[in-house]
Amino acid sequence: MPDHHNQYKRVKIVLFHRISPKRDLLWDPIDPKLFEQILKYFSKRSTVVGLDEYFLSPPAKYKKPPVIITFDDGYKDFIEYGFPILKKYSFSASLFVVTDCIDKGLPTWTYTLDQLFFYSKKLETKLADIDFLESKYRIKKWATIEERINFSKNFKQYLKKIPGKSRNIIMKSLQENFDDVNPATGLMLSWDEVRQIQAEGIHIGSHTVTHSPLATIENEGELEY
């Protein structure tokens, strides 16, 4: 943090993902009513400032401790539910989008993984054919769907730690294996919507191209991309 901001060594950066009244078994969003309660609290106790404003503008003194609001990934419910409430309180925010998700109109690989394991009716797997997997993950079938879902929770954490190329191979295999699950379309913002909210004061930043954990990328060219 720049020296001129040392007066607020504990500036709060609050991260959200999804705001929606629609329930989602895979990843339940924050209800808009709760989101508004949070913003109402901020309006009384804090000074909400933009991320770029706080770090790039000349230093400012705030009557109340500053709070920075951010969103990750680029879900469409931001423009449907989150953004109108932000405007109601005249609050700025930063939205960090996964560009490949916006291009393709599909959610992140982490969401896709959950979707495949939760909604497929298949209990057989091709994971045993992937020789670089740890032995405990190289199984041929599950006894029940519940067993498969429980397996996926630890498996997702494992996938976050392995090299990106290996994870891509596994994801491709899973999508071929669970071919009875349709891709989750309609969840992400479009580029036109991104431009629209940017024109209305939302700061847009990058949350990588493919939502890959950067520490798992071994090739420097791929990391830079």
Whether residue 192 sits in one domain with residue 172: no
Tally of structural domains, the chain:
2
Whether residue 140 sits in one domain with residue 116: yes
Interatomic CA distance for residues 49 and 176, integer angstroms? 45
Whether residue 113 sits in one domain with residue 100: no
Residue 202's pLDDT band (boundaries 50, 70, 90)? very high
93 and 203 Cβ atoms separated by less than 8 Å: yes
Whether residue 128 sits in one domain with residue 34: no
- What CATH number has the domain bearing residue 12? 3.20.20.370
Whether residue 198 sits in one domain with residue 92: yes
In this predicted model, which residue has the larger pLDDT, 27 or 35? 35
Whether residue 191 sits in one domain with residue 101: yes
Interatomic CA distance for residues 136 and 117, integer angstroms? 17
Which structural domain range is residue 116 located in?
A: 109-177
Number of other CB atoms surrounding residue 141 within 10 Å: 12
Whether residue 126 sits in one domain with residue 89: no
75 and 189 Cβ atoms separated by less than 8 Å: yes
Residue 4 has pLDDT above 50, yes or no: no
Sign of CA dihedral 110, 116, 118, 119: positive
Interatomic CA distance for residues 56 and 5, integer angstroms? 11
In this predicted model, which residue has the larger pLDDT, 176 or 25? 176
Whether residue 78 sits in one domain with residue 135: no
Our measurement of the distance from residue 201's CA atom to the centroid of its chain's CA atoms, rounded to an integer in Å, reads 21
48 and 42 Cβ atoms separated by less than 8 Å: yes
Residue 109's pLDDT band (boundaries 50, 70, 90)? very high
148 and 142 Cβ atoms separated by less than 8 Å: yes
Residue 222 has pLDDT above 80, yes or no: yes
Whether residue 117 sits in one domain with residue 207: no
Whether residue 97 sits in one domain with residue 44: yes
Range name among 1-10, 42-51, 83-92, 167-176 with the lowest pLDDT average: 1-10
Whether residue 204 sits in one domain with residue 130: no
Q: DSSP 3-state assignment of 141?
A: strand
Whether residue 77 sits in one domain with residue 46: yes
Residue 208 has pLDDT above 70, yes or no: yes
